[in-house]
Amino acid sequence: MKNHIQALRGLFPNASMIRDGYHFDDRKKGISIWTSFAEEGIIDYYGRTQFHPILEEYMEKNGLYVEFYDPGTAFIFKK
């Protein structure tokens, strides 16, 4: 997931949080990516299928999916 974190930081340099999810939910290191994408409009929490086109393409290409913790916090996992 470290490579995905670096890539997502490059794609969304203004995002305030893109980091390993274990800091947030005590899961094992490297299992998830903790993001502020929903808070920043990169992902639409209420639409649940609305992603920024660049993020959607990246996730499809790399076999990733999103789970929401709350309306502002989105975790990204490998399928």
Tens-level pLDDT at each residue, the chain (79 residues): 899 999 999 999 999 999 988 766 556 666 899 999 988 989 988 875 688 999 999 999 999 999 888 888 889 999 9
Task: Give CA separation, 21 vs 14, 47, 53, 71, in Å.
Answer: 19, 23, 23, 16
Query: What residue spans define the domains of the chain?
Result: 2-78
| Residue 26: per-residue pLDDT | 59
